[in-house]
Amino acid sequence: MSALGASTSSAAGAGRRGFIDPRALMRIGSLELRARVVVEGFWNGLHRSPFHGFSAEFTEYRPYSAGDDPRYVDWRVLARSDRVYIKKFEDETNLRCHLLVDRSRSMDYGSAGVTKADYASTLAATLAQFLQRQGDAVGLMTFDERVREYLPARARSNHLRQLLLALDRPIEGRATDLVAPLEHILTLVRKRGLLVLVSDFLAPLDQLEASLTTLATCGHELLVFHLVDPAEASLSYTSPLLFEDLETERTLFVDPEVARAGYRARFTAHLEAVRRSCERQGVAHHLLSTDEPLELALFAFLKTRQHRAKSVRGARPAGGGQA
């Protein structure tokens, strides 16, 4: 619980002002509209923010000087202002991002009007729309105990619609397997790119670290959004209840007053295990509570990307980047 509190409270405390409450956001029926609302607000705020976009990232204009490659002259600026400028880029290749979204039954839980599945879908849709606005290619893989749907990364405008449709489908899975989709994506995605995994990680973690290692070895950049419901984290029920597992439908009589302490300890240990596995493999891990605004996730996403861009830039020899 301490991990959850530490990771979310600072971000939430700093950024909740002016953001949309997830419960209010989920009242919008259309997934596309929800994502657009988040992205529009975020996009407008971006101008005032210190963050910049990433792939094919434009960094600055520089006046043309003799010997510069005329390919990088900004012809529009020339046409408008009759001055010759050269555009400078971080990276000239477009980003290929794959969103891996957990659609197992355990995601169909929500204590405050927002289920983890809705939150995950909206988060994935928001990221997809955001990336598409930047001209990046976005793909999607939904999974539970097996891979349900796979859409390869594309940058076309109608691709977003297919993606949203896949995210809007009802939940069918009975269990969660975190290893199979990661292994499967390796066989499907040959080019290196960004993989964003959105899940509640309510599954055995035995093979998770091994899969993360494989991905890192293959050169993929991995970003993990670990979703947690507040009630799930705290077990804040008062009366004795018959708990029914959403995935296995197994029932268990539990008195929360008695079981709370042990539950929280085990739950926090599980979260910590996931975080440590990610950390060891250099995977960015973001713990998100479903009562936090989605914009925070976007900020976390951009922050991670920027951090990585800096580290890449730092690793390159001087004069790197675009030339």
- Which 94-153 residues touch other proteins, going by CB under 8 A? 105-107, 109-112, 116
Write the CB contacts of 272 (distance below 8 Å, at least 6 apart in sequence): 3
Name the CA dihedral angle for 100, 105, 109, 113, rounded to a multiple of 10 degrees: 70
Q: Which is nearer to other proteins, 78 or 258 (CB)?
A: 258
Q: Is 214 in the site for other proteins (CB under 8 A)?
A: no
- The binder of other proteins chosen from 14, 258, 261, 323 (CB under 8 A): 258
Q: Which is nearer to other proteins, 125 or 227 (CB)?
A: 227
- The binder of other proteins chosen from 54, 85, 225, 267 (CB under 8 A): 267
CB 90 within 8 A of CB 81: no
- The binder of other proteins chosen from 242, 315, 317, 318 (CB under 8 A): 242
Q: What angle do CA 318, 93, 71 make, to 5 degrees?
A: 80
CB 104 within 8 A of CB 145: yes
- The binder of other proteins chosen from 184, 237, 303, 306 (CB under 8 A): 237
Q: Which is nearer to other proteins, 52 or 174 (CB)?
A: 174
Task: Return the SS3 of 138.
Answer: strand
Q: Is 177 in the site for other proteins (CB under 8 A)?
A: no
Question: Buried b vs exposed e over 75-92: b needs ≥16 C-beta within 10 Å?
Answer: eeeeeeeeeebbeebbbe
Q: Is 263 in the site for other proteins (CB under 8 A)?
A: yes
CB-facing half-sphere around the CA of 39: CA atoms within 13 A: 19
Q: Which is nearer to other proteins, 82 or 249 (CB)?
A: 249
Q: What mask, x for binding other proteins by CB under 8 A, covers residues 272 to 291?
A: --------------------
Q: Is 245 in the site for other proteins (CB under 8 A)?
A: yes
How does strand 147-154 pair with strand 251-254? unpaired
Binding segment for other proteins (CB under 8 A), chosen from 20-28, 46-54, 144-152, 252-260, is 252-260
- Which 189-208 residues touch other proteins, going by CB under 8 A? 200, 202
How many amino acids of this chain bind other proteins (CB under 8 A)? 41
Task: Return the SS3 of 171.
Answer: coil
CB 50 within 8 A of CB 283: no
Write the CB contacts of 42 (distance below 8 Å, at least 6 apart in sequence): 126, 130, 295, 298
- The binder of other proteins chosen from 21, 168, 172, 244 (CB under 8 A): 244
Binding segment for other proteins (CB under 8 A), chosen from 7-15, 47-55, 123-131, 263-271, is 263-271
Task: Return the SS3 of 170.
Answer: coil
Q: Which is nearer to other proteins, 105 or 220 (CB)?
A: 105
Binding site for other proteins (CB under 8 A): 105-107, 109-112, 116, 200, 202, 229, 231-232, 234-248, 250-255, 258-259, 262-263, 266-267, 270
